[in-house]
Amino acid sequence: MKLRSFRVMNYRCVDDSGEVPVDRIKTLVGKNESGKTSILKALHKFNPALPEPYNGLKEFPRKRFHEYDDKAVVVQAKFSLEPEEKDELSRIDPRLVDVSGVSVTKDYTGTYDVRFLPDIVIPPPNLKGLFPLLIDLRSAMDKLDDSISGPQSGIRWKLLDALSRVGTGISEDTDLSSPSSSREAFVRQVQEILSLLGQTPDAEQYKTIRASIRVILDTIDWPNVEARVNKYIVEKLPVFIYFENYAIISSRIHLPSYVERLNSGDLSPEEKTAKRLLEFVKLDPAKLAMLGGHQGKSSNEIQEAIDTRALMVDRAALSLSGLLADLWQQRRNRLDLAIDGEYLRLWVADNVDGSRIELEQRSKGFQWFLSFYLVFMTESPERQKNAVLLLDEPGLHLHASAQEDLMRVFARLSEKNQIIYATHSPFMIDVDSLDKTSLLMESPEGTKIIEPAKTTDKTALFPIQAALAYSLSRALSTERYSLLVEGITDLWILSTISQHFKASGRRYLEDDIIITPTGGGQKSALFATILSGQNMEVAVLLDADVEGANVRKKLTETGIARETSVLFVSDFAKETGRVVELEDLLPVGLYLKFVNELYSRELGKNPITETGLAPGVPVRRYVEEEFAKRGLSFSRFRIARNIMNEFPHVPLNQLPVDFVERMERMFSHINRIKSSAPMQTVTVETPRHSVLKSIFSRSRT
């Protein structure tokens, strides 16, 4: 059973989080006091490894406590079923054959309520509800061939006669699910039909009748069937493991006092984690403590006990030796156990100096990492099922690169389990899977969980923005060739034209040249400086305005870029020597066609034409002015996206020859940054939509 969504309600600062989809890994991003811990604690108590009930007096939202009801739902979780689970449900009741998932709620009393996905309708257990089923049974009987001689002769009429007596003397509204004389009479009447079928061969036609009768009997017995199904589902729920319940393990375990508290069930948080360690290495602390006692033993017995303890601990230490070898990449570490009188001690040695030191002397990050892994590795198998691991601010003490190690651990653990973790660290956000990331937002109705695209709250979005910026810097520094453009619309339009040219067998911008929008000319200079320092080949495409001219001068005079690599858009326009934007390279009529089609509703019967376009005025600014005159709003971004969608459908033979030649000349100039680039092998394809080369993904032939 796999968790596919959750919803937290009526818990602390959360009135209703909204439904949150879950895949193998779910990231919850939120600032401090946004409700991250409340969400995770509510989920943990949904099905913890060890009993931990909800406490309505302490956990129901304070501002709404006057509404408190023990039956208030805290968590609704939806699960998809595994094939074997689907098969078991259909064996319990054939009507469940199409059930692919379940929705399970848990309230403050700890009661689970199970609903099927998709929902199935069970008729009420009275004659009124059973009437359609009895009609189906009659229809199955009517299909029998009653002309055959022999033992089967007349079976149809016998069955119909028995059916006519079903419900005799019973009110149509009587509840037949509860023990009563009416229920006994109804079951007896239906059993009479089964007894008649028992005298006939098990032919296909009789199977249909038997199946109809089973549905009827299951309907009046539905409360028992439902209880059986619910019990099966609840037993199959994945265990929810919350790491905060366990503290960082101590390197010294006093065995006698530990065993005493273990037996009384009064372990401290640190000792709970120590218990996981001992379980992992299969060490019996009671036996270790017993062997450490010398009272009443001879010298030979004492020596034998010492040797036995040492052997037990040495064998256990072998289980730890390679525990983190593939997971912790900061340093190579060796974990070691040793017995020291009444103490079991945990030592760590690394590959820097090899000295054994106590765990407390290692970094907080390493201590957290080890403790977390021990807890998960030992608690998950307890219930012999897939687990949902809940982590609050994982890796808080870890360096950024160690947080990346932790993300790799998550990826490995998520192959057999699911992980939900809350963070505000940009290094714990996977920008390649932002669809699996949600934001926690404070609202007058309490904490809400929403998708990043549904808010403009800068504070809430900051960790994601930082993660994207970090990903951008890494992507840029790992590529050899980069073309810097001023804006995102330049990226969209240039990539679209290049891909269309490539698909048509013309010269294009080579695939391993990454187009990066910088946000303006001055920022292009900064980007070029940084990337050049990473031994990258950089080309810069600028507007020929004052800012662009200054940037070109700065880059070429300082040697950051060759003069031939700093290009003006106007270098490839029909008319040189004026300010030209990338949109001006497109045929004016084609650009206006895209505008008029996109804004056809707003423009009505008055489309924008070329007649008012004065020489030297950028076409985009001309369109903005025309829209302003009509009291309309124009978006450069909307039209750029429309060009992305529509330009690939325009055959190249319908475009002006000089436009195609000018664009090919631009691509050739940019491609010069690859001075040793091999000849292009053109693959002709016809994409339905343009394929963009961006800073986060790269199109390849």
Q: What is the CATH number of the domain that holds 44?
A: 3.40.50.300
The domain of 362 spans 248-377
Final residue before a domain boundary, out of 471, 500, 515:
471
Q: What is the pLDDT of residue 701?
A: 32
Domain count, the chain: 4
> Among 79-88, 439-448, 589-598, whose mean pLDDT is lowest?
439-448
Mean pLDDT of 576-584: 78
Rounded Cα–Cα distance for residues 572 and 660 (Å): 11
624 pLDDT tier (thresholds 50, 70, 90): very high
Q: Exposure pattern of 554-581 as b/e (b: 16+ CB <10 Å)?
A: bbeeeebbeeebbbbbbebbeeeeebbb
156 token code pair = 């149809």
Mean pLDDT of 684-692: 38
Q: Is residue 522 part of a domain?
A: yes
- The DSSP element (H or E) to which 228 belongs, if any, is helix 222-236
98 token code pair = 């199409």
Final residue before a domain boundary, out of 445, 471, 497:
471
Q: Residue 419's beta-bridge partner residues?
A: 25, 389
The answer on pLDDT for 158 being more than 70 is: yes
Q: Is residue 235 part of a domain?
A: no
332 lies in the same domain as 396: no
622 lies in the same domain as 485: yes
> Among 270-279, 337-346, 465-474, 589-598, whose mean pLDDT is lowest?
465-474
284 lies in the same domain as 367: yes
Q: What is the pLDDT of residue 472?
A: 65
369 lies in the same domain as 324: yes
Q: What is the pLDDT of residue 383?
A: 41
Q: What is the pLDDT of residue 7?
A: 97
Instruction: Say if residues 292 and 302 touch (Cβ distance below 8 Å).
Output: no
Rounded Cα–Cα distance for residues 328 and 336 (Å): 16
578 lies in the same domain as 524: yes
pTM above 0.85, yes or no: no
646 lies in the same domain as 605: yes
165 token code pair = 């007596």
Q: Is residue 187 part of a domain?
A: yes
Final residue before a domain boundary, out of 406, 439, 471:
471
> Among 177-186, 553-562, 580-589, whose mean pLDDT is lowest?
553-562
Q: What is the mean pLDDT of the chain?
A: 82
61 lies in the same domain as 206: no
Instruction: Say if residues 521 and 547 touch (Cβ distance below 8 Å).
Output: yes
172 lies in the same domain as 141: yes
Most confident of 30-34, 132-136, 157-161, 456-460: 132-136
353 lies in the same domain as 457: no
% of the chain beyond a pLDDT of 70:
86
- Provide the pairing of β-strand 387-392 with 239-242: parallel
Q: Is residue 430 part of a domain?
A: yes
DSSP 3-state of 574: coil
Q: Is residue 66 part of a domain?
A: yes
Residue type at position 130: L
Mean pLDDT of 247-269: 86
DSSP 3-state of 18: coil
443 lies in the same domain as 495: no
Q: Estimate the crossing angle of helix 521-532 against helix 546-557, to 10 degrees.
A: 20
Q: What does residue 6 show for φ and ψ, rounded to 5 degrees?
A: -140, 165
Q: Is residue 231 part of a domain?
A: no
Q: Is residue 676 part of a domain?
A: no
Residues 6 or more apart in contact with residue 66 via CB below 8 angstroms: none
108 lies in the same domain as 133: no
DSSP 3-state of 530: helix
Q: Could you count the other beta carbons within 10 Å of the beta carbon of residue 484? A: 29
Mean pLDDT of 622-644: 92
77 lies in the same domain as 132: no
Q: Residue 28's beta-bridge partner residues?
A: 422, 438
Mean pLDDT of 472-487: 72
641 token code pair = 């996206």
695 pLDDT tier (thresholds 50, 70, 90): very low
Q: Is residue 680 part of a domain?
A: no
196 pLDDT tier (thresholds 50, 70, 90): confident
Each residue's pLDDT tens digit, 399-421? 777 787 788 878 888 888 899 99
664 token code pair = 């090919």
The answer on pLDDT for 476 being more than 60 is: no
Each residue's pLDDT tens digit, 67-81? 999 999 999 999 999
